């Protein structure tokens, strides 16, 4: 029996587990992360001599539905050309049946790591707004992410915000917005009729009613109940609302068990009433009470950042006056100065 050294053993462990890119132009360098569906590696494109990221199915036995999801994910991302969505360069199938796609390598950290560094609320809101805009772009093209969470939002080393992991995204077939709806109707990577049919069946299966897709605590009630057909952009708005809650409070949903979350201002008194209202409206239990899509939410956050009134919060007279005074501070000071001078002159004249 052949003796296997430690080095050989390590290699065979990799052979038994790692995807084989030997026949491609890519060489895997290190694992960056892994999720339920795929593993992301830092890799080298040997033809262009540049580092890229490759996402590949974790195991060849994962099945046609995972393969179909990976292909769909690559196709969706490739067509969503937006600065907040990582561009895809290539997609393919390895000899062992694992689907992979190559994309731009983004250096940086996740949104939760960013929040752990304790930036101010305004900085957090700016990042959040950028994430909302990327999702809004997808919504405009009829794509619902369905798995938004801090772990799927990346802050690049230049402060850029990218929304990742579109593996469980849903394409809204009846979408009639201003953007061009995506039509992902073919899976050209499938080898032969049989595999294509398997992939198509798998893709159909993916949207089956009753299938729960997403991450607990970030899923809207309708998503958590498996009402796939009913899902629309507001499911993403809910997840964004939970992310906003996390950014405003630093509290990860679910850490308090099944207890309802306290209001953001109860956890962090520095949060304004308007920001709290935006957050609570976004993550309202009833879909009808939320913002209609991520664009509306992004606009609302922009108003928060500009210190303008938001639709989610009706200010009282005192708050309105305070806001007016805050926005017209110079004018108020000038008028006050003028009045003081007038009074001074009147008093002096009488004296």
Partner 1 sequence: MEQDTDIGGPEHRFPETRHSAIEGVRSENVEQRARAVTTIVESYWKPVYKYIRIKWGAANEDAKDLTQAFFTIAIEKHYFAGYDPSKASFQTFIRTCLDRFIANQKKSEQRLKRGGGQDHLSLDFNEAESELSLPYHVSEITPEEYFHREWVRHLFALAVEGLRTHFDELGKNVHFQLFEAYDLREDLLGEAETETPARVSYSSLAKDFGLSISDVTNHLAATRREFRKIVLTKLRELTASDNEFEHEARSLLGLKIK
Q: Which is nearer to partner 1, 63 or 179 (CB)?
A: 63
Sole binder of partner 1 in the list 84, 92, 142, 167 (CB under 8 A): 167
63 binds partner 1 (CB under 8 A): yes
Query: Which position among 45, 147, 165, 232 bears the catalytic label?
Result: 147
CB of 35 to partner 1, least distance (A): 6
CB of 210 to partner 1, least distance (A): 9
Asked whether the beta carbons of 278 and 313 are under 8 A apart, the reply is: yes
216 binds partner 1 (CB under 8 A): yes
Burial call 263-296: b when 16+ CB within 10 Å, e when fewer = bbbeeeeebbebbbbbbbbbbbeebeebbebbbb
207 binds partner 1 (CB under 8 A): no
Helix (H) or strand (E) holding 42: strand 38-45
Asked whether the beta carbons of 129 and 51 are under 8 A apart, the reply is: no
12 binds partner 1 (CB under 8 A): yes
36 binds partner 1 (CB under 8 A): yes
Q: Which of residues 283-342 bind partner 1 (CB under 8 A)?
A: none
- First-to-last alpha carbon distance for the chain, in angstroms, is 116
Return d(Cα 83, Cα 162) in angstroms, integer.
7
Active-site residue, 96 included:
no
22 binds partner 1 (CB under 8 A): yes
1 binds partner 1 (CB under 8 A): yes
Return d(Cα 234, Cα 84) in angstroms, integer.
20
Interface region with partner 1, contact rule CB under 8 A, candidates 58-66, 178-186, 284-292, 328-336: 58-66
CB of 86 to partner 1, least distance (A): 17
Return d(Cα 155, Cα 317) in angstroms, integer.
39
The strand pairing partners of 55, in sequence order, are 40, 101
Collapsed DSSP state (helix, strand, coil) of residue 38:
strand
Q: Which residues bind partner 1 (CB under 8 A)?
A: 1-9, 11-13, 15-17, 20, 22-23, 27, 29-30, 35-37, 58-66, 69, 94-96, 147, 149, 151, 165, 167-168, 202, 205-206, 211-218, 252, 254-255
């Amino acid at each position: 029996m052949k003796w296997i050294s430690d080095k050989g053993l390590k290699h065979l462990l990799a052979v038994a587990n790692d995807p084989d890119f030997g026949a491609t132009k890519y060489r895997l360098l290190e694992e960056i992360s892994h999720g339920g569906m795929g593993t992301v590696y830092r890799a080298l494109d040997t033809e262009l001599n540049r580092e890229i990221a490759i996402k590949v199915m974790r195991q060849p036995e994962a099945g046609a539905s995972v393969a179909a999801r990976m292909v769909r994910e690559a196709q969706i991302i490739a067509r969503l050309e937006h600065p907040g969505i990582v561009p895809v360069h290539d997609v393919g199938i390895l000899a062992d049946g694992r689907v992979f796609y190559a994309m731009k390598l983004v250096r940086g950290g996740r949104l939760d790591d960013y929040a752990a560094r304790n930036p101010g609320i305004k900085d957090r809101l700016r990042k959040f707004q950028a994430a909302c805009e990327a999702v809004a772009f997808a919504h405009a093209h009829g794509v619902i992410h369905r798995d938004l969470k801090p772990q799927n939002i990346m802050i690049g080393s230049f402060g850029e915000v990218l929304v990742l992991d579109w593996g469980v995204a849903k394409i809204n077939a009846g979408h009639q917005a201003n953007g061009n709806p995506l039509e992902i109707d073919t899976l050209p990577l499938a080898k032969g009729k049989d595999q294509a049919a398997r992939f198509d069946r798998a893709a159909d299966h993916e949207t089956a009613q009753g299938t729960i897709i997403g991450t607990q605590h970030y899923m809207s009630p309708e998503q958590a109940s498996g009402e796939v057909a009913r899902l629309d952009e507001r499911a993403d708005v809910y997840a964004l609302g939970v992310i906003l809650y996390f950014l405003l409070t630093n509290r990860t949903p679910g850490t308090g068990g099944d207890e309802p979350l306290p209001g953001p201002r109860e956890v962090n008194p520095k949060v304004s009433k308007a920001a709290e209202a935006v957050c609570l409206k976004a993550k309202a239990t009833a879909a009808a009470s939320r913002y209609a899509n991520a664009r509306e939410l992004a606009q609302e956050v922009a108003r928060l950042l500009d210190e303008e009134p938001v639709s989610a919060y009706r200010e009282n007279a005192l708050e309105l006056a305070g806001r007016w005074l805050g926005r017209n501070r110079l004018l108020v000071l000038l008028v006050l100065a003028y009045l003081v001078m007038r009074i001074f002159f009147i008093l002096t004249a009488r004296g």
